[in-house]
Amino acid sequence: MTETKYLKFFLNEIGYSVHNLNTIAVALSNLPANSVPNPELNIKWEPKNLEKSCIAARRFAVRSSLVFAVEALFEYMSNISDDELWKKLNFDLNFKKKLSTNDSKARRFSEFCKSIPGIEKEWYLLVELMCHWRNQIVHASTSNAGLSSSDKRFLETKISFLYDNFYHFDVMKTLEDYDADKVTLKEATTLITFLIKCCRKIDEHYISSISGLSNQVYSEVLDNDDQFNLLKKQVGSAKRNRQIMKYIGVKLPYLSAEKITMLANEYK
């Protein structure tokens, strides 16, 4: 298995939301000047200025997709941090653990990513910016957080690299648009790209690290599972052995078939 169940769910949610966002953008761009709503919608829609209404609707969709993506990220990070094997691998690396100073989920994400191999600094800083942008949208009257001056200066050193390698992404314009709270469709979808890249690296680190754990660690996880303990108490039989092996495969799906069989044999 190359992806955790947490990443699969996350990618499905993100992919679905980006497709919907692009569909909305295409539909709005093709909206004719004489459009009238389908009577079956049973709504009142009488825009005074169709062009302005389309621009406003597109902005609403882009901002909503950014909020949705960040919420999906927070769920993924929380699920990874709560995972029993993750806790065995990374004792203090926990997204849900508050920082000692200037705590926020945006900053927690950046601090978390600093310990993950393969995540470039510009990736997680742009995702942090995205998280701050989510707060700016949801808590418009109270949120004033943002990237530090040093982090902004670092991103400035990556202007050419980001422009050349990520669909002509203009990081300076993005920082300006953040200050003005004017996120564009291109900015939102590119920021989502960095978000996905970070989560893939976190997942890779998790799965590659599991192979180094001892059978004792896996046994501890299983022995703390109430449902598994009920299976162990059943009278010995071929059916019981099959159920134990199947349960281990569900509980620890990232193990090889060989390791699952080895663990199951310990409980015969």
> pTM for the full model?
0.89
Taking a C-beta distance cutoff of 8 angstroms, is the pair 134, 67 a contact? yes
Cβ-count burial 98-133 (b if 16+ within 10 Å, e if not): eeeeeebbbbbbbebbeebeebeebbbbbbbbbbbb
- Of the CA atoms within 13 Å of residue 23, those in its CB half-sphere come to 6
Which residues lie closer than 8 Å to 244 by C-beta, 6 or more apart? 228, 231, 232, 264, 267, 268
Say if residues 87 and 75 touch (Cβ distance below 8 Å): no
Confidence (pLDDT) at 125: 98
pLDDT in tens, 98-107: 998 888 999 9
Res 128: pLDDT: 98
Residue 91 has what pLDDT?
62
SS3 27: helix
* pLDDT given for residue 127 in this prediction: 98
The tokens of 65 are what?
A: 């997709």
pLDDT along the chain (268 residues), means of 10: 88 94 92 82 89 94 96 96 86 87 92 96 98 91 83 97 96 96 95 97 90 84 90 89 91 85 87
Residue whose C-alpha is closest to residue 109's, from 84, 87, 88, 134: 134
- Res 1: pLDDT: 57
